[in-house]
Amino acid sequence: MTALVAAFAEAWDEVRIHKVRVIVSLIGVLIAVAAMTVITALGDMARQANAEHSESTSGRPATLQVSAWTQDGSLLPAETLTAAYAEIVERHSVAYSSVLSSTELRFRFADGTEPVWGSFIDPSYGEMHRIEPEHGRWFTAADERRFAPAIVVNTAFHQRMGEPDLRTDPTVVIGGERPVRATVIGVTPNAYSDEMPSAYLLNAHQAQWAIQGLYPSPPTLELWVPPESADELTGVLTSDLAGLLGDDLQVDVYRLDPSDFDVIDGQLQWVIRGVSVIALGMGALGLVNIALVTVRYRVREIGVRRSFGATSGRVFFSVMMESVFATAVAGLAGVVLAVAIVENVPIEELIGGSVTDVPPFPVRAAVEGLVAATVVGALAGILPATVAVRVKVIDAIRF
């Protein structure tokens, strides 16, 4: 035990004495560990942004869409479809579901009436599609009991209204055979730069105030179910809906969100890990080169130590542990640098998107970087230590 502690102390003294050499040799490792951690953080952020974009357009894993129509192409009564959908949701105890239909509505603005594409949904639709209003709020179950319809509009619609403050409860009239005044409760970002005005309305309000528009689409049902049950439920829902509406109908149930997203996500993780390993490998290469050169310059010192009784194992362990100690310190400094970068640099702007659920700092990557730096130090120290052991005592003293 005494010999082991002495070897550790000797290795640390060498690191402390040769501070300049150690710092120069470990800059590459420090940068590599910091890059490894930052790359992982950027990768996690990019993966989250990609997942949120996919969920906003196609729904969360796994979102099933259910629709039905007659063989001759005629439309079924919306009430019939809606009742069948409600029966399916209740039968399978689905926590998050929404009936979805769309139509062209006529909204009366201050300077005239304009057609706007409206979507009738249920409150759960916002959670299923990660809809986060930038102003105001999304629908709640309490909104279905309002004495006037509530709507959530996009930014283009809000600008068309003159961008009123939502705290003043701005209203707009929905035209038609029975005009009704609706209150704007939320504003969502435009899906793309030149998006036209659009609005979300509740199915309950459509039925209560008989809101009708032009070119209505038949209602469909969206269900958020566990991914592992998606394939089984696809067949079950098809047979259930056919039993409720009749076998002469065409029933279609399919998954909206990409079922292979986990595969793509896994491939992205491997790419991120590969880039991190390359960065760490480049730092290790510089460390090995400087360590070899340093051992060449320390031949006389090693010979003197051997002449005073230092065993080859003691010399090997001491030289290798110098590298291990130094890389461990460099790895810790690299993690600290990575934390400073991740916490102070606007990463969302770097990946070109907004993230609602910001991933936490990748502690796993930091720990992996610290461990990897120590392992790299051990591996990088083996070669110089082997060279040091092979030095003959007489030749070393004469060097």
For position 333, what pLDDT does the model report?
Answer: 86
CA distance 60 to 182: 29
**Band of residue 398 on the pLDDT scale cut at 50, 70, 90:** low
Closest listed residue to residue 219, CA positions, set 75, 99, 126, 103: 99
DSSP line for 121-156:
E-THHHHHTT---SEE----GGGGG-SS-EEEEEHH
280-330 residue pLDDT tens: 777 777 777 766 666 666 666 666 666 666 667 777 777 777 777 777 888
Percent of the chain with pLDDT over 70: 77
For position 348, what pLDDT does the model report?
Answer: 60
**Band of residue 8 on the pLDDT scale cut at 50, 70, 90:** low
User: How many other CB atoms are found less than 10 A from the CB of residue 367?
Assistant: 13
Q: Is 129 exposed, middle or buried (0-12, 13-18, 19+ CB in 10 A)?
A: buried
- Range 55-74 average pLDDT: 85
**Band of residue 53 on the pLDDT scale cut at 50, 70, 90:** confident
Q: Which residue has the higher pLDDT, 339 or 93?
A: 93
Instruction: Read off the tokens for 51.
Output: 């997942």
Closest listed residue to residue 270, CA positions, set 43, 35, 105: 43
Q: Which residue has the higher pLDDT, 213 or 284?
A: 213
219-273 residue pLDDT tens: 999 999 998 989 899 999 999 998 888 877 888 998 988 765 565 666 767 777 7
Range picked from 102-116, 258-272, 341-355 for highest mean pLDDT? 102-116
For position 289, what pLDDT does the model report?
Answer: 72
* Residues contacting 65, CB < 8 A, separation 6+: 220, 221, 222, 223, 252, 253, 254, 255, 256
* Residues contacting 4, CB < 8 A, separation 6+: none
Place of tokens 């720990």: 367
CA distance 348 to 185: 27
